Amino acid sequence: MAMKRIVRIIGVICSIMLLSACTNSTEKEQYVLYAGHSLAEDHPFESAMQELAKRVEERTDGRVVIETFPLSQLGAERELIEGLMLGSVDMMVSTSGPLINFVSDFGVLDLPFLFNNREAAVQILEGEIGDELFAQLRAEGIVGLSWGENGFRHITNSVNPIETPDDLKGLSLRVQENKVFIDAFKQLGANASPMAWTEALTALQSGVVDGQENPILVIDSYKLYDAGQKYMTLSGHSYSSAVFMMSEHAYNRLPEDLRQIVYEEGQKIGAYERELVIDKEQEALSRLQEQGMEVVEQIDVGIFREKIMSVYDSTKNQQLLQQILEKQ
């Protein structure tokens, strides 16, 4: 009897082990990717990330899930970029400005009045020049997926309308944390104050700075008219290119088939996001005017550009600068 009982127990154990082996062979591991950015939940950055998550989940049958974190929940832009390099953040979308701190050639893209229009910018960034910049990112452990945008940047302030460079003299202006923006606005006569966007909101509300410069969608999304920003000039001084990126750590962690799907969908999402920006800009501008912001719609770009030519001259990669200028 004892022997028969032992045989039965062994048989049950073997059956359980076999069933477990079969179950494990049919179940496939799920991968969760954390994606962050610094802008609000209603911004195209978030809408595009959610669309990317939807497409990836559908194509991978739920094996890859992308969870999105807007409003700097995972960190401000510079912190997110560092997170990509370290592997503590999986994906992000960021304006290209903070990338200058890691790949200096991105600074060329921030030169004021560099691109003639949106079409020229997209054509250049999606060509050989953009590919070379992505290759430099890859050397830092970041996989560039595609180029999005945050629209053209414009100036707002609480003091006076800005129609000429003289109107900027003495104004304290929050700018992005990169040398190109700091130098350019100093040349235009403003007191440039570099700071993260999370800090900028408090600075505007408390009057520590008089103004800032950002695309229309950001100005509208954060209701900067409630932070004393009464005047806006459609200077279009910088095309705010953006980059959808993935940590090389996360990229390599995925099996090859899933990695390919994420990469393919990532390559498409930039164009999707750009269309969202275009669709929303005019509506946002009308809303800002309805809230009482006084808008200067046209300026003499030539006068402003002349003031910042020393910034062009000091650009380290003159070859890249000339390539961009010649392609327009």
pLDDT at 19: 39
pLDDT at 306: 94
d(CA 134, CA 145): 8
Q: What is the DSSP letter of 209?
A: S
Contact call for residues 232 and 293 (beta carbons, < 8 A): yes
Residue 96, C-beta contacts closer than 8 angstroms, at least 6 positions apart: 106, 109, 110, 240, 241, 242, 243
What's the sign of the alpha-carbon dihedral 279, 269, 55, 249? negative
> What are 10-34's pLDDT values in tens digits?
443 343 343 344 434 346 899 999 9
Coil, strand or helix: which one is 198? helix
Contact call for residues 193 and 209 (beta carbons, < 8 A): yes
Q: DSSP letter string over 277-288?
A: HHHHHHHHHHHH
Partners of 35 in beta bridges: 68, 91
> What are 137-158's pLDDT values in tens digits?
999 999 999 999 999 999 999 9
Residue 80, C-beta contacts closer than 8 angstroms, at least 6 positions apart: 36, 37, 38, 74, 89, 92, 94
Helix (H), strand (E) counts: the chain: 13, 9
Pick from 18-27, 30-39, 216-225, 261-270: least confident: 18-27
> What are 266-311's pLDDT values in tens digits?
999 999 999 999 999 999 999 999 999 999 999 999 999 999 999 9
Compute CA distances 6 → 3, 10, 13, 14, whole Å. 5, 6, 11, 12
Residue 290, C-beta contacts closer than 8 angstroms, at least 6 positions apart: none
Quote the tokens at residue 290. 């309805």
Residue 72: phi and psi, rounded to 5, are 60, 30
Mean predicted confidence (pLDDT) in 79-85: 98
d(CA 170, CA 18): 77
pLDDT at 242: 97
Q: Between the CA atoms of 284, 116, 313 and 128, what dihedral angle is there, to the nearest 10 degrees?
A: 100
Find the largest Cα–Cα distance for the chain.
103
pLDDT exceeds 80 at position 7? no
Partners of 92 in beta bridges: 36, 245
pLDDT exceeds 80 at position 196? yes
d(CA 222, CA 200): 11
